[in-house]
Amino acid sequence: MADQIRIIVEHFVDGNLTEQTIILNKEMGKVSSISELGFNHQQQMDLIKACQDALLKIQSQDLQSDIQFCPKCGAKLKLAGHALSHFHAVFSDHKVSVKRKKCCNNKCGWTSVPSISSLFNTNAHPDLSKLQTEMACNHTYREAQYILNAISYGSPRFCVAKRQSQSIDFA
């Protein structure tokens, strides 16, 4: 009999299932070496990234600035699509949708340029910033960069502790 595992993220609203996202579908054979036991490093990072993307997709439904009126002419603002913005978590990088707003006054035409940075003053999760700072305190810049990049396995976690006073910006 062929063994298979499936990892699914389920989204519930008021207890009702609204969406299922398959994160992983894997057929398994007999394990013949230690490297085949469990998920390898790359597979673990891919799982984290896929789970994060599923969570971020739901959270992004509410991501928008609180601004209600046009800063240029004072007219009311309306929602006008969305913009994709970079977000850097501890182990993975993501593009998150943020709602865009547009001025109702057609003669004005002002449109917001929303991003994770404009909403939260940074696009890096504090846990990543903390890890970068701790690494930089105990290693040279080059060593810290190497260690963080090795841990994340493919998603560069650039060490920016040398410019901690600035917002952390990868993109």
Residues that bind Zn ion (CB under 5 A): 70, 72-73, 75, 103, 105, 108, 110
**C-beta of 80: minimal distance to Zn ion in Å?**
12
**C-beta of 85: minimal distance to Zn ion in Å?**
23
**C-beta of 64: minimal distance to Zn ion in Å?**
17
Q: Which is nearer to Zn ion, 50 or 108 (CB)?
A: 108
**C-beta of 98: minimal distance to Zn ion in Å?**
20
In angstroms, the CA 45 to CA 20 distance is: 21
Q: Which is nearer to Zn ion, 108 or 119 (CB)?
A: 108
Q: Which is nearer to Zn ion, 107 or 142 (CB)?
A: 107
Helices 141-152 & 126-138 angle (0-180, nearest 10) = 140
Amino acid at site 107: K
Give the pairing type, strands 3-13 and 77-88.
Answer: unpaired
